[in-house]
């Protein structure tokens, strides 16, 4: 039934196109996917208790201890409804009539061969590198930007932007160093170390300065430098959980207490496995388990913990969710978490530099973290180097569901490629395609702004920058790590920095993550709808760019504006507006758009009564049509105004093939040189990509 709901919803998806479950509107749901859905339906012999209650949650994005921005700062709170409401995400319908409909991601094909221009036809058709059938499942190799189907210029700028944060930004360096990795398809087009892996021996709190090692003892970053991933560890725990769901040992809608009876204490008896994976359990962000000297004492603290909010009523990011999930996994498999990681993920995928508790021999290749001492640290440890930084994970012998995994950029790229491949890398499959869909499906439709799959965050501009789409997935780590993968363009970005070196108070926000993601997004070309160039708004924040046509005088009631339009903006905050003026003031012009379809699917025109578009348009060109009859007989100027706020941007806006028709006459055509020369551009540029 859920697959049928998904299939019915497919025609409403902006940009059109077939999904992996619906082809030409026909339903074909695999037996395995039906089983996965039934496991998540709560059919356990008792009626499922629906999520209930209304409330507003305040989330600190990033990792659990004082990091990131609140949901309110992003412009959206967490307000729960009853059940799962209908919500459109960039045109993708994820929930209908209170029943969860899983939106499958397109399985990644290879990046375009033959350079960036090789992808032009795909881009124009709205397919792109990541929109194929998944028949080809690439493995990684280093190669040029052209081989990856990327533009070299933005990749060069990506490195320059990242290097800027090695300097004071604003008061201190954001990190001592970093390893940057960016790719598309099976090609890693950028793999660059910058700065130092080990620079400081200590932190002087009296002068707020780092005490540096002698120059000959400092260690530069290298491509294979290993990092404490911090909360990116949560992704591995989530993957292991989804494997167990796939194998029938774990069920999404079953209560945690069904697996761990002691967990029911403190009013937690109704928390489900799904709520752990989507941070809707009601747990507060963290508790100091390290204060308890024994494992039994730590577990008792967890068993006695009372939820901060009613389970299912709000989104609140919490380390305790993944610690609880770790305990479930160890219970149902009979194996410790580090063994599960090794046997089920890292060995099959050849991730040889990924593990808990790295051996002492790895230390020279590991990035140092913090001079951990009270009052900023809960444990007095001095310089943490080669051991997990997180206090709770450290007190759990380095193996925890929320933190503790060490890895390098290449290994994380292998993981990203595996997921973009639909769960397979080379000859090793670690998840089914249907299971990967669960990772990238928004289960938090009741909490706009806090989109979340099973373990993976979705559509988060605050660190994904312009790579953020309703299908983009990723996570960050408190130590300065992040990964983003976008099935829409088949791109992936790994930024591993040691931003708590020498002390956690030096890092603030996610500016390097956003800056690098913006450049990788820019490196994926948007080809003109026709001809060699189109007008491009740029990707600057806190700006207004205008594209103005010359004065025209419509003479009939059939005057219309037509053009091709492409947009991808931060939803709600940034917008592209069509405006008209007959004097000093500008007013919005209502219009309709029709996205380019595929196959036999012809999208219906979508009205824009406010004259504005915002958000994600499906990475396809749209045909715009606007009625100009209201200005018959008047001197009329038309313009596109693109306005961005100071925080984040999308990929921007493009305008092409502009025509104004007045009855049978074409009074303006941007394809005519004399008309093109009369367009006034402020902030817009002609671009081939």
All domains of the chain in start order, with CATH: 116-523 (3.40.710.10), 534-687 (2.60.120)
What gap in Å lies between CA 520 and CA 497, rounded to an integer?
Answer: 17
pLDDT in tens, 175-214: 999 999 999 999 999 999 999 999 999 999 999 999 999 9
What lies within 8 Å, CB to CB, of 136 at 6+ separation is 109, 110
Task: Please compute the mean of the pLDDT values over residues 414-440 and round it to a whole number.
Answer: 96
What gap in Å lies between CA 525 and CA 270, rounded to an integer?
Answer: 48
In this prediction, what percent of the chain has a pLDDT beyond 90?
77
What gap in Å lies between CA 669 and CA 535, rounded to an integer?
Answer: 14
Number of Cβ within 10 Å of residue 261's Cβ equals: 11
For 654-668, give one letter per residue: b (16+ CB within 10 A) or e: bbbbbbbbbeeeeeb
What gap in Å lies between CA 631 and CA 551, rounded to an integer?
Answer: 12
pLDDT on residue 61:
34
What lies within 8 Å, CB to CB, of 226 at 6+ separation is 353, 358, 362, 365, 366, 367, 406, 407, 408
Task: Please compute the mean of the pLDDT values over residues 293-315 and round it to a whole number.
Answer: 97
Confidence label for 603 from pLDDT (cuts 50, 70 and 90): confident
pLDDT on residue 536:
99
Task: Please compute the mean of the pLDDT values over residues 86-96 and round it to a whole number.
Answer: 29
Threshold 0.85, pTM exceeds: no
What gap in Å lies between CA 319 and CA 234, rounded to an integer?
Answer: 9
How high does pLDDT run on average in the chain?
85
Backbone dihedral region for residue 94 (phi beyond 0: left; psi -120 to 50: alpha; all else: beta): alpha
Q: Is 594 exposed, middle or buried (0-12, 13-18, 19+ CB in 10 A)?
A: middle
pLDDT in tens, 527-579: 999 999 999 999 999 999 999 999 999 999 999 999 999 999 999 999 999 99
CA distances from 460 to 68, 330, 421, 457 (A): 12, 31, 22, 7
């Amino acid at each position: 039934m859920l697959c049928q709901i998904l299939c019915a919803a497919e025609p409403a998806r902006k940009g059109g196109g077939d999904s992996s479950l619906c082809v030409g509107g026909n339903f074909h749901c695999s037996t395995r996917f039906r089983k996965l859905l039934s496991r998540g339906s709560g059919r356990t012999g008792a009626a499922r208790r629906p999520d209930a209650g209304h409330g507003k949650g305040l989330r600190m994005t990033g990792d659990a201890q004082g990091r990131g921005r609140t949901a309110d700062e992003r412009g959206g709170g967490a307000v729960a409804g009853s059940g799962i409401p209908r919500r459109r995400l960039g045109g993708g319908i994820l929930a209908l009539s209170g029943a969860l409909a899983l939106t499958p991601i397109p399985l990644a094909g290879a990046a375009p061969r033959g350079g960036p221009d090789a992808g032009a036809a795909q881009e124009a058709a709205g397919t792109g590198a990541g929109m194929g059938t998944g028949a080809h499942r690439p493995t990684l190799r280093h190669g040029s930007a052209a081989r990856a189907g990327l533009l070299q210029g933005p990749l060069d700028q990506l490195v320059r932007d990242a290097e800027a944060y090695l300097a004071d930004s604003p008061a201190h360096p954001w990190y001592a160093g970093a390893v940057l990795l960016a790719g598309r398809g099976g090609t890693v087009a950028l793999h660059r170390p910058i700065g130092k892996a080990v620079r400081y021996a200590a932190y002087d709190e009296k002068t707020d300065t780092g005490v540096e090692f002698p120059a000959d003892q400092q260690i530069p970053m290298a491509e294979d430098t290993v990092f404490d991933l911090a909360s990116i560890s949560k992704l591995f725990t989530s993957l292991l959980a989804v494997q167990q769901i796939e194998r029938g040992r774990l069920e999404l809608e079953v209560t945690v207490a069904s697996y761990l009876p002691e967990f029911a204490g403190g009013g937690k008896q109704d928390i489900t496995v799904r709520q752990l994976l989507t941070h809707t359990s009601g747990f507060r962000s963290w508790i100091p388990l390290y204060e308890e000297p024994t494992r039994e004492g730590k577990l008792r603290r967890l068993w006695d913990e009372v939820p901060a909010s009613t389970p299912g009523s709000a989104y609140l990011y919490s380390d305790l969710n993944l610690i609880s999930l770790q305990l479930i996994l160890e219970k149902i498999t009979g194996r410790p978490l580090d063994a599960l990681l090794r046997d089920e993920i890292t060995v099959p995928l050849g991730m040889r530099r990924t593990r808990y508790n790295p051996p002492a021999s790895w230390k020279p290749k590991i990035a140092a973290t913090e001079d951990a001492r009270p009052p900023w640290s809960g444990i007095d440890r001095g310089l943490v180097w080669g051991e997990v930084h997180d206090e709770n994970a450290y007190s759990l012998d380095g193996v925890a569901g929320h933190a503790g995994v060490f890895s390098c950029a290449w290994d994380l790229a292998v993981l990203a490629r595996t997921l973009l491949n639909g769960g397979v890398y080379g000859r090793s499959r670690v998840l089914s395609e249907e299971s990967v869909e669960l990772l990238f499906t928004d289960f938090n439709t009741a909490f706009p702004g806090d989109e979340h799959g099973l373990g993976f965050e979705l559509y988060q501009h605050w660190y994904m920058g312009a790579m953020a789409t309703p299908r983009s997935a990723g996570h960050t780590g408190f130590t300065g790590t992040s990964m983003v993968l976008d099935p829409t363009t088949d791109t992936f970005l790994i930024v591993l920095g040691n931003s708590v070196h020498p002390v956690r108070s030096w890092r603030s926000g996610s500016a390097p993550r956003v800056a690098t993601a913006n450049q990788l997004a820019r490196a994926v070309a948007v080809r003109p709808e026709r001809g060699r160039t189109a007008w491009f708004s740029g990707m600057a924040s806190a700006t207004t760019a205008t594209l103005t046509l010359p004065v025209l005088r419509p003479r009939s009631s059939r005057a219309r504006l037509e053009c091709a339009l492409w947009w991808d903006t931060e939803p709600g905050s940034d917008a592209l507006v069509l405006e008209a003026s007959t004097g000093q003031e500008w007013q919005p012009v209502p219009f309709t758009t029709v996205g380019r379809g595929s196959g036999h699917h012809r999208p219906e025109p979508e009205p824009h009564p406010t004259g504005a578009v915002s958000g994600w348009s499906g990475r396809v060109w749209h045909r715009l049509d606007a009625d100009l009859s209201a200005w018959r007989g008047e001197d009329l100027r038309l313009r596109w105004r693109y306005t961005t706020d100071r925080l984040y941007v999308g990929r921007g806006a493009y305008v092409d093939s502009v025509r104004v028709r007045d009855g049978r006459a074409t009074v303006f055509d941007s394809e005519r040189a004399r008309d093109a020369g009369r367009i006034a551009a402020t902030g817009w540029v002609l671009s081939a990509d």
